[in-house]
Structure 1
């Protein structure tokens, strides 16, 4: 009886937070779904008209849609490759004892706490600017022509900017997993004459597989909605070279004032993100059960 009362009290106490969270999610989602079936342009107030699935048809057949899908996949895939490989290497490095280890760990994790817009502006103006940026001055010092990263390699530049911010997160998760590895296994393998690369492939990497899966899952969910870095660096350009799905929805909704089309794009983005999250959750579930 006491247990039932405790559970009832717990549900009662958590109910306001759950209801607030549901309202916070359901109300905007319901409005987006409703607007996606309307011809709703901000430049024509009072001219709203029910159009059914017309907005979806126009959005899905827009030539910019496939390009945005490709840019989204390239951005997510590029950042995941860099952060997972870089995170493993940094975790292995930080796991070794050396002088000032605590300070170095703090410095490595620090970029994750920088706001995305600030992060992008710092890279755009202080590093990648071909005239006043650090890389431009370094190229001139070496007698080379400065490279305009955001104009000549815009998508790769954004991948690098986002990777720099997410690398500490991957490093922290992987370092924590690495430190939970039983050192007796490594010592036994070393005593048997196994080289370091064999110990890494057959002992360390399998142990890190679950942590890598978690990193991929969490980062993918956030990377599908990357926006601030694109807005303050390339504004989706040159042309549509860096326009991902999230930025395309922004363009249609707030730059072209087509709320109906932008809402349809938002619904499509939500559906695609949930499909990706579903398969990732299945993957992480199988990995954790293994």
Structure 2
């Protein structure tokens, strides 16, 4: 028994020694930026005023939390995340059900629906800004002219809505991909039995298809929300956070503090707040997804 125990101990030590370099490198890669962000968040560090430095305590956090722009940015972040999630989940579910049906050219249709997800955010934002939503040369302006309607200057009159449309177009294919994969595992015998019992398409959708997609929808919501909290490129390319703060989210506000105001301390405090909010959201989302997977 002692020989077996010592053998297991030696094997465990060998495994640990092999894993230690990779785990140590991963911890350094994660912890060093976090520790530096925490350190700078308690410092007076403004690149425009290098003579003013030293320990600031919680002044950076107090200034940020009492700044109305923070709450405006957080409100814009919630609106952006909420509307994109609703649009992608609802639209992704309907498209997944549609693309599951048999029709001519289904493979090509699936390819075109999923393709936008592989376009870089900067490129998609430029395409929408210059080719779709341009008030003079855009496709939307051309369609409006066909009906004798005035063209809409999207980024001036509906800036946040414009960003939501762009981000939704980019993330809708991801939802379709996950939900289409999930719907393909639906038991056809169950659907046929429901049809034989007289269930119509709506009844099959609400009582069979939708409950089957519950887990996949939870995964889509969790993954999208984590990434949508850090949306930056679409805002930077199209509106630069404006007009005013109309499209400034939390990530873009941190960019303004760090690279436009050169306030490293204030930007670091904003980064810490963003990390706390992201972890709170991730905690509840992971618990929700875990419950759905258990059920």
TM-score normalised over the length of structure 2: 0.94
Query: Hey, what does 1:175 align to over in structure 2?
Result: 180
Q: 1:11 and 1:211, CA in 2 relative to 1: closer, same or farther beyond 3 A?
A: farther
Query: Hey, what does 1:28 align to over in structure 2?
Result: 33
Q: 1:132 and 1:193, CA in 2 relative to 1: closer, same or farther beyond 3 A?
A: same
Query: Hey, what does 1:195 align to over in structure 2?
Result: 200
Query: Hey, what does 1:150 align to over in structure 2?
Result: 155
Is residue 38 from structure 1 mapped to residue 49 from structure 2 by the alignment?
A: no
After superposition, the C-alpha distances for 1:210-269 in whole angstroms (9 at most, x for unaligned) are 000000000000000101100010000000000111111111111111110110000001
Q: State how 1:137-286 maps to structure 2 within 5 Å.
A: 137-286=142-291
What are structure 2's unaligned runs of at least 5 residues?
none
Shift of 1:97: 1.4
After superposition, the C-alpha distances for 1:141-182 in whole angstroms (9 at most, x for unaligned) are 221110011111111110110010100100000001100011
* Cα distance in 1, alignment partners of residues 131 and 24 from structure 2: 45
Coordinate RMSD, CA, aligned: 1.6
* Cα distance in 2, alignment partners of residues 5 and 160 from structure 1: 58
Q: 1:5 and 1:239, CA in 2 relative to 1: closer, same or farther beyond 3 A?
A: same
Q: 1:81 and 1:263, CA in 2 relative to 1: closer, same or farther beyond 3 A?
A: same
| Residue aligned with 1:38, SS | coil
* Cα distance in 2, alignment partners of residues 172 and 250 from structure 1: 32
* Cα distance in 2, alignment partners of residues 76 and 257 from structure 1: 28
Q: 1:82 and 1:4, CA in 2 relative to 1: closer, same or farther beyond 3 A?
A: farther
What are structure 1's unaligned runs of at least 5 residues?
none
Shift of 1:11: 5.0
After superposition, the C-alpha distances for 1:2-25 in whole angstroms (9 at most, x for unaligned) are 887776666555544433332222
